[in-house]
Structure 1
C-alpha cells in the first residue's frame, strides 16, 4: 500500500475514533475530499485494520465509529502539529489573551504527557529547531482581552441556555445593566459577545472589555431559531454589523495580483479586466471598517459601489485631514 493511501486510512481511523455519533460514507467522502466509492474502499480497509470499528444504525444512513479510541502509537502527533499548537498559544499570549493561551498550553502538556518517552525524545530536536525558526509578527491594533473570569460564565450561559447579565460601559454613555440571550463569542482584533435582545430578538454585539459584573441569570434563553453564528460573523467585512451592501471595487493593474490573493470576504468574486486591473465584488456590512482597510491600498483601489462606502471613505479622509491640524 502506498504511503499516501496508508496515511489517509489512518486519518480516517482517527476521525472515526474522534466522532461520538460516527461518520456516514458521505461524511467520509466530504471530510477527506474523495469520491464516495473511494470512501467505501477506505472504510473497508479501516474495518480490516481496526476490529473495534462498530456500525451505528441511523436510518436511512449507516454510520461507523471506533469506540475506546486508538493506541498511543496510532495517535502520536508530528513535530509540525506540536509546533503549530505552541505557535497558536504563543500568538494568543502575545496578543494579550493569557486565558486562552493557557488553555492551549495545558492541552500541549496533556498531549506530551500521554506520549511515549521514546517518541517525545525523537521529536524533541525537531521541535526545538522549528520553535527557534518560526515566530509570530504582532501587528498594531486593538489589544483584545478575554480572561477566564469573563469567558467562564458566558460559556456556561450559552451551554445551559440561560440569560446572561452584565454591566455595559460605552465611551460617552452611562453604564447600564443588560440581560440578554447569549448566542456565542467572536474572537478577533477585539473580542465580542454575540447576543439577542430578549424583547425584540435583534442580534447585537458587545465588546468583552466593556463588560463587567457578568452573571448567569435564572430562566431559559435560547438563541433565535435557525441562528448561525458563523453566518452572522461572515456578513460583515469586520466586526461591525449594519446594513448589508453589494460592494464593487476596481483594483489597478499594479495591485491586481495582491488583490486576487487577498481574502476580502467569503462571498468574493473576481473579474479580470482587459487592462490588467481586477474587479472585486462581495456582499457585506461594515462599511466603516472596509473604508479603514481601503486606506492601506492607497491609489490602487477605486470604489465603484456602494455610495455608503464612498461616504464612509470621504468621512474617514476628512477625519484624517483634521488630525493633521
Structure 2
C-alpha cells in the first residue's frame, strides 16, 4: 500500500475509534471529503487491518466503530500536531486565558506521557526548534476573561439542565441579580455567556468578566430545542447582537485584492466591478463593531448600505474628532 493511502486508512481508523456510536458511510464521505466508492474502499481496508473493528446496526443505516481504542503506535501525534497544540496554549495564555491554556497544557502532557520514549526522543528536537521559531502576535484589544470557576459552573448547569444565577454589573447601571437558561459560551475579543430569558425566552449575551456570584439555581432549564449557537454567533459581525442588516460595501481597486481574500462574514458574497473595485455583501448585526473595523480600510471602503451603518460611522468619526480637539486644547 502506498504511503499516502496508508495514511488515509490510519486516519479513518482513528476517526472510527474516536466515535462512541460509530460512523456511517455518509459520515466517512463527509469527514474524508471523498466519493462514496472511495469511502467504501478505505472502510474495507480498515476492517481488514483492524480486527477489532465492528459493524453496528442502526436502522435504516449501518455504522462502523473500533472499540477499545488504538495502540500507542497508531495514535502517536506528529510534530506538527504537538506544535499547534503548544501554540494554541501559548496564545490563550498570552491573551489572558490561563484556565483554558492550562487545559490544553494538561492535554499536551497526557499525550506526551502516553508516547513511547523512543518516539518522544525522536520528536523532541524538532518540536523544540519549531516552538522557538513560531509565535503568536497579540493584537491590541479587549483582554478577555474566562474565570475557570465561572466556566465550570456554566458548563455544569448546561449538562445538568439547570438555570444559572449570577449578579451582572455594567458600567453606569445598577448591578442586578439574573437567572437565565444557559445556552453556551462565545469566546472572542470578549467572552460571553449566551442565555435565554426564563420568562420571555429571548436570547441575550452577558460578558463573563461582568458576572459574579455565579451558581446554579433551583429548577429545570434547558436551551430552546431550535437554538443553534453557531448560527447565533454567525449573525453578528463581531460579538454584539442587535438588529440584523443587509450590508453592502464597495472596496476601491487599490484594496480589491485584499478584500477578495478577506473573510468578512459567513454570509458574504463578493462581486467584481468593471473598474476593478469589488462589492461585498452580507447580512449581520453589530454595526458599531463593523464601523470600528472599517476604520482600518481608510479611503479604500465606501458604505453603500445600510443607512444605520453610515450613521454609526459618522458618530464614531465625530467622537474621534472631539477627542482629538480636546487633546490639542
| Same fold (TM > 0.5) | yes
1:39 maps to what in 2? 39
**Structure 2: segments with no counterpart, 5+ residues:** none
> Where do residues 7-46 of structure 1 align in structure 2 (5 Å cutoff)?
7-46=7-46
1:71 maps to what in 2? 71
> Where do residues 183-222 of structure 1 align in structure 2 (5 Å cutoff)?
183-222=183-222
1:105 maps to what in 2? 105
2:309 maps to what in 1? 309
State the distance in 2 between where 1:59 and 1:120 align: 44
2:289 maps to what in 1? 289
- The TM-score, its normalising length taken from structure 2, stands at 0.98
Residue 133 of structure 1: CA displacement? 0.5
1:152 alignment partner, SS class: helix
After superposition, the CA RMSD in angstroms is 0.6
Residue 135 of structure 1: CA displacement? 0.3
1:324 alignment partner, SS class: helix
Residue 225 of structure 1: CA displacement? 2.0
Query: When the two structures are aligned, how many residues end up with a matched partner?
Result: 325
- The TM-score, its normalising length taken from structure 1, stands at 0.99
State the distance in 2 between where 1:78 and 1:170 align: 46
2:178 alignment partner, SS class: strand
Q: Deviations over 1:11-48 (max 9, x none)?
A: 00000000001000000000000001110011000000
State the distance in 2 between where 1:221 and 1:115 align: 42
2:180 alignment partner, SS class: strand
Residue 150 of structure 1: CA displacement? 1.0
2:171 alignment partner, SS class: coil
2:128 maps to what in 1? 128
Residue 284 of structure 1: CA displacement? 0.7
Residue 148 of structure 1: CA displacement? 1.1
State the distance in 1 between where 2:233 and 2:322 align: 33
2:204 alignment partner, SS class: strand
State the distance in 1 between where 2:303 and 2:103 align: 43
Residue 3 of structure 1: CA displacement? 1.5
Structure 1 residue ranges, 4+ long, deviating more than 4 angstroms after superposition: none
2:48 alignment partner, SS class: helix
State the distance in 1 between where 2:159 and 2:240 align: 25
1:262 maps to what in 2? 262
Q: Deviations over 1:61-98 (max 9, x none)?
A: 10000000000000000001001000000000000010
